[in-house]
Chain A
Amino acid sequence: MARLGSVRVPLGVRVPSSASAVPATTVSSRHSALVRVTHWITTLCFFALLVSGVEIVISHPRFYWGETGNVLTTPLFKLPIPSSRALVPTGYGYVLPDQNGWSRYLHFQAAWIAVLTGLLYSISGLFTGHLRKNLLPREADLSWRAFSTAIANHLRFERPSEAEAWSYNVIQRLTYLFVIFVLFPLVIWTGLAMSPAFVSAVPATVTVLGGQQSARTIHFFVSLSLLLFLLVHVVMVCLAGFRSRMRAMITGRAGTHMERA
């Protein structure tokens, strides 16, 4: 017996979710359980990292390039926000409460969980063929024609076809690959490059970036890029059909027929 909502149903019995017959497509799932679980753990970690990251930045909303930077040096740029430290000249007449203690604890805890989840996803993705089958662009995608069609469809905000509920298009594939294998590693690297203990063991982590403050500035911009990705991702999910896409990532069922019904 398995629990579905509050109704106990025998295993193997499908619960008819609408008047239409259950289509054959529900037999295999759109996203594997591993993809779904790692997706939502990463989502939780991302929000924890975002909130705590904002809190940490508030204690010094100034950015620099090179090894050092402080209130006595000229910043590369400043965020036009008040600070949680009295020493920072922000132009605002008040100081926000200090939230760095729990923010730093939460930031690193969420980072650990995100990194371990990411490792699990990447390694299993290599073995199961998920990365090759679902994320690497298909051979047919790698023509200018296919590529420009995909871009044109996006620009026209065209609803994705039935087939696209079952696989990623080329722009999705390239974006996800970029986020997973460029932005995530970069944000982890620049984060570690700010750690005085870590760089004592691996100094090149920070020196190739131009210094500890450069690492902090890059970390900020990579985080902004990830936030931009998140916003576009959510908008695209809404455009493609929020309910069907959410169902696919939560239960694994694609069921586009529901959307059209």
Chain B
Amino acid sequence: MIDLSRRKLILSGVAATAGVSGLGVAARIAQKYGLVPPDHGGIYGLGETLTYASQRLLTRHSLAREFPRSQISKPPLANEIPPLNEAFKRLQAGGFADWRLSVNGMVDRPAAFSLTQLKSYPSHSQITLLACEEGWSYIAEWIGVPLSHVLDVVGIHPQARYVVYFSIDPDWWESIDMADALHPQTFLAYGMNGNELPVGNGGPLRLRLPRQLGYKSVKYITHLTVTDSLKGFGKGLGSASPEGGYAWYAGI
């Protein structure tokens, strides 16, 4: 039997009101502190927001695990890549001498960097695990320049909130928040396991983001834009992934 008394009804009403307004306040606070992902709409918005918000609070400064050289996967895996377009093949024929990474948006000094310029900056390396959302993984040494160094060179505006990055493949673009963009292990990688970065692994230039799954580490990077809002990019969901049904944030 349903056992309802007036007191219980009033109490449940108060609790429900408190719950709903509590959620409203939580949503406001989350928005203010950048804890709401751009693909928060739709039926999976609750789970996405909880994942992104909790992981962002927990991992703002944490470092991805690094491994000893002996744990580097041999032979290195090169995942399936989309067919490379004419623009890529032309640059490849020229030994990537004309490859440029253009950087614009909320920056003081928009610029276009050649690979030689990027390699002239202090080179860093990390031996980290690349995990694919499918379930496989491998460990490699990644060599490159931290994205934060390049962002320092162009001078980002204080209101910058996201970095959007584009592959030479026009259907492939992603974005990350500033916590990831300025993270010391977020690289513009041009080398792997002591050599040039092979084309199969994203050479000549790939974004390397070891705290998120492989699909955020976009291959063949040609362009970066610094922005305070993702609304103007594609369908406004943050990157190509949510447009294809995949989560924008891939920390899990």
* B168 close to chain A: CB less than 8 A: no
Pick from B44-52, B156-164, B225-233 the stretch touching chain A: B44-52
Q: A68-B73, A101-B244, A201-B59 are in contact. Are A59 and B46 (CB under 8 A)?
A: no
Q: How many residues of A contact B (CB 8 A)?
A: 48
Looking at the assembled complex, report how far the CB atom of A104 sits from the nearest CB atom of chain B, in whole angstroms.
6
Instruction: State the main secondary structure of chain A at its contact with B.
Output: helix
Contact B73 A198 (CB under 8 A): no
Query: Which B residues touch A106, using CB under 8 A?
Result: 44, 47
A253, closest chain B residue (CB) = B1
Question: What are 21 contact pairs spanning A and B, CB under 8 A?
Answer: A12-B1, A56-B134, A68-B138, A70-B73, A72-B75, A73-B73, A87-B80, A100-B246, A101-B246, A105-B48, A108-B252, A109-B44, A112-B50, A112-B51, A195-B251, A196-B64, A197-B58, A197-B59, A198-B252, A201-B59, A212-B131
Contact with B along A48-76 (1 / 0, CB 8 A): 00000000110110100001111111000
Contact A109 B46 (CB under 8 A): yes
B55 within 8 A of A: yes
B contact residues, range: 35 or more
Interface residues as binary, A69-86 with B (CB distance below 8 Å gives 1, 0 otherwise): 111110000000000011
- Quote the shortest CB–CB distance from A35 to chain B (angstroms): 16
Q: Which residues of A contact B135 (CB under 8 A)?
A: 56-57, 59-60, 62, 216
Tell whether B10 is near chain A: CB-to-CB under 8 Å: no
Residues of chain A whose beta carbon lies under 8 Å from any beta carbon of chain B: 2, 4, 11-12, 14, 26, 56-57, 59-60, 62, 67-73, 85-87, 100-102, 104-106, 108-113, 192, 194-201, 203, 206-207, 212-213, 216
B4 part of interface (Cβ distance < 8 Å)? yes
Flag the segment in B17-25, B189-197, B210-218 that touches A.
B210-218
**CB-based nearest A residue for B76:** A72
B62: interface (CB < 8 Å): yes
Rounded to whole angstroms, the CA-CA distance of A112 and B51 in the bound complex is: 8
| Residues in A neighbouring B67, C-beta threshold 8 A | 67
Q: Are B252 and A201 in contact (CB under 8 A)?
A: no
Q: Is B2 close to A, CB under 8 A?
A: yes
Q: How far is the CB of A260 from chain B (nearest CB, A)?
A: 22
Q: Besides A70-B73, A108-B48, 7 other CB < 8 A contacts? A: A57-B135, A109-B47, A192-B252, A197-B58, A198-B58, A207-B65, A212-B131
Q: Which residues of B contact A60 (CB under 8 A)?
A: 132, 134-136
Quick check: is B245 within 8 A (CB to CB) of the other chain? yes
Between B1, B46, B73, B132, the greatest number of chain A beta carbons within 10 A of the residue's beta carbon is seen for B1
Contact B139 A197 (CB under 8 A): no
For B52, give the chain A residue with the smallest CB separation: A197
Total of A-B residue pairs, C-beta within 8 Å: 132
* Contact between chains at A68 and B137 (CB < 8 Å): yes
A67 to B131, CA, bound (A): 10
User: In the complex, are the beta carbons of A100 and B134 less than 8 A apart?
Assistant: yes
Q: Which of B2-30 contact A (CB under 8 A)?
A: 2, 4
CB proximity to A under 8 Å, residues B127-172: 129, 131-139
Min CB gap B247→A, angstroms: 6
Q: Which residues of B contact A (CB under 8 A)?
A: 1-2, 4, 43-44, 46-48, 50-51, 55, 58-59, 62-65, 67, 71, 73, 75, 77, 79-80, 129, 131-139, 210-213, 244-247, 251-252
Interchain CB contact under 8 A, B137 and A212: yes
- The answer to whether B62 touches A196 (Cβ under 8 A) is no
Alpha-carbon gap, A213 to B213, bound state (A): 14
Question: Once the chains bind, are B59 and A200 in contact (CB under 8 Å)?
Answer: yes
Cβ of B51: which chain A residues have Cβ within 8 Å of it?
108, 112
| CB-CB nearest in chain A for B74 | A72
On whether the beta carbons of A102 and B129 are closer than 8 Å, the reply is no
In the complex with contacts A70-B73, A199-B65, A201-B62, A194-B131 CB distance below 8 A? yes
